[in-house]
Amino acid sequence: MAGKALIIVDVQPTFCEGGELGVDGGNAVAERIAAYVTAHRGEYAVIATTQDWHIEPGAHWSEHPDYVDTWPVHGEAGTPNAELHPAIRALNVAHHFKKGQYSAAYSGFEGIEDNTDRIQSREEVTAAQQAGHTLANALKAAGVTQVDVVGIAESHCVKETALDTCKLGYQVTVFEDLTVPVSEELGVAARKDMAAAGIALLRS
């Protein structure tokens, strides 16, 4: 259906149970998202995934992380845990945006479309951004007005992606049953920030 997009944020093994930055409930959320997409695919003009795809993200990785600005190694480009979660990969959606190659990148709008994993160097990433291979351009090209956001983690990359979507003028919904925060406390804070920005927080 023209006018509506779904962004599936960072549903990767690195952020699910057993991953480097595993979030409780991550695997269950991945399965629920897959079931939702299977049932509602026809409602969306665009379905896109985002992935942390870190090559050399600088101070974002640390041997002594503070879990606020610095983190253990995670989402390392080319590793199995940086790939899409198997439940999401099986959906065979068309658009994949990889972010954080050489920076932190909490928002999917910082990523570039890279379905082949061939974009590696800093120069190639910059060139892809300048050429418009971005999530913002994909939404614009599809004539989207409404965007639903789901994924991991609600308190971090889901929140930042949803806020950036809102700043671009879209009507934004985050499905609370299709996301999970790092902690309940951070989830409450994230929902407060999103609601204040005018983002609808609903169940799917």
10 assigned to active site: yes
Annotated catalytic residue within 4, 16, 98, 157: 157
Using CA atoms, how far apart are residues 49 and 43, in angstroms rounded to an integer?
Answer: 16
* Known catalytic membership, residue 148: no
* Residue from 4, 10, 114, 164 carrying the catalytic annotation: 10
Tell which residue, 11, 183, 187, has the closest CA to residue 87: 11
The answer for residues whose C-beta is within 8 angstroms of residue 106's C-beta and 6 or more apart is 156, 157, 160, 161
159 labelled catalytic:
no
> Bridge-partner residues for 149, per DSSP?
7, 174
Residues paired with 76 in a beta bridge? 54
Which of 99, 148, 159, 164 is catalytic? The answer is 99
| Preceding amide of 153 cis, omega within 30 | yes
What are the structure tokens assigned to 106, written together? 């909490």
Q: How far is CA 201 from CA 17, 114, 127, 155, 198, in A?
A: 25, 30, 35, 13, 9
Residues with a catalytic annotation lie at 10, 99, 157
